[in-house]
């Protein structure tokens, strides 16, 4: 996979949550290149409102195994939890 193409997909995903760009990032999660996998994960987490759905759909379609999706899903859950913590802290004040 070409890093420049992944960057372009990441930008499109981040700005528009385009499903095709998201699917390319999901495919990058299967790359043998750990830096490309990390980049794809980071970009997917940027749009966590849509990322979990696209990951679940990719697993259902057989594009991605649960083991390959797990690190990204964990990051999505952590990112969501930190937002909730900030809300709870703010509302208690």
Q: Are 36 and 1 in contact (CB under 8 A)?
A: yes
Q: What is the pLDDT of residues 13-39, one digit of tens each?
A: 999 999 999 999 999 999 999 999 999
Q: Where are the domains of the chain?
A: 3-92
The answer on pLDDT for 91 being more than 90 is: no
Say which residues have a Cβ less than 8 Å from residue 13's Cβ, sequence separation at least 6. 21, 22, 25, 43, 44, 46, 47
The answer on pLDDT for 90 being more than 70 is: no
What integer is the mean pLDDT of 67-83?
Answer: 87
Average pLDDT, the chain: 88
Residues of the chain with pLDDT > 90, as a percent, come to: 78
């Amino acid at each position: 996979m070409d890093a420049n193409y992944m960057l372009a997909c990441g930008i499109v995903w981040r700005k528009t949550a385009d499903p095709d760009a998201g699917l390319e990032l999901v495919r990058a999660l299967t790359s043998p290149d750990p830096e490309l996998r990390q980049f794809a994960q980071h970009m997917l987490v940027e749009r966590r409102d849509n990322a979990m759905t696209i990951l679940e759909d990719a697993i259902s379609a057989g594009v991605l195994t649960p083991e390959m999706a797990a690190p990204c899903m964990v990051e999505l859950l952590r990112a969501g939890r930190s937002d909730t913590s900030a809300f709870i802290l703010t509302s208690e004040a």
